[in-house]
Amino acid sequence: MTIYRRTPRDAKKAGRELRKGDTFYVTLDVAKNIAPYEDGHLYSQYTVTGTHPLLGGAMVGGQAVEGIVMRDGPISTSPPKGLRNVATPGPQVAAPFGEDYEGFLDEAELRGLEKQVAQSNDPRKRRRPGSWRV
């Protein structure tokens, strides 16, 4: 496992040493005020797709590996232990109803739901298109 720090020297070193097909990983911080049920740290993985035609450094799509190290660094050549990939599904916060769940709707509740549906589908009670504009 090699770690390239967020320094110009390590960025150039990563650009020289990583070859086409190599995968490297970047640790990401997650804002808990925006995603409260998400993990605090995730990692993202990049695969080197080629080299720069003029300068010869490693490239990921149209981005130079040097730029990724300087912007998102540090990077490592092995996945971080205990962190989840940002591309995998997030943690499940609420459990689904199991096989033993039996929720019954009584008549009054069904009538209320039918009334809501009937009112929302009545063309005479709908807003005319464009009426939300001021």
Query: Per-block average pLDDT, block size 10, for the chain (134 residues)?
Result: 90 90 92 82 92 88 90 90 88 70 78 80 67 61
Q: Is 90 strand, coil or helix?
A: coil
Return the SS3 of 10: helix
For residue 69, the model assigns a pLDDT of 92
* pLDDT at position 39: 81
Which pLDDT score, from 0 to 100, does residue 125 have? Answer: 66
Using DSSP's 3-state secondary structure scheme, residue 53 falls into coil
Domain chopping of the chain, boundaries = 3-85
From CA 69, how far away is CA 81, in angstroms rounded?
Answer: 20
pLDDT recorded at residue 130: 67
The pLDDT assigned to 96 comes to 66
Question: What does the pLDDT read at residue 73?
Answer: 78
pLDDT of 131 reads 67
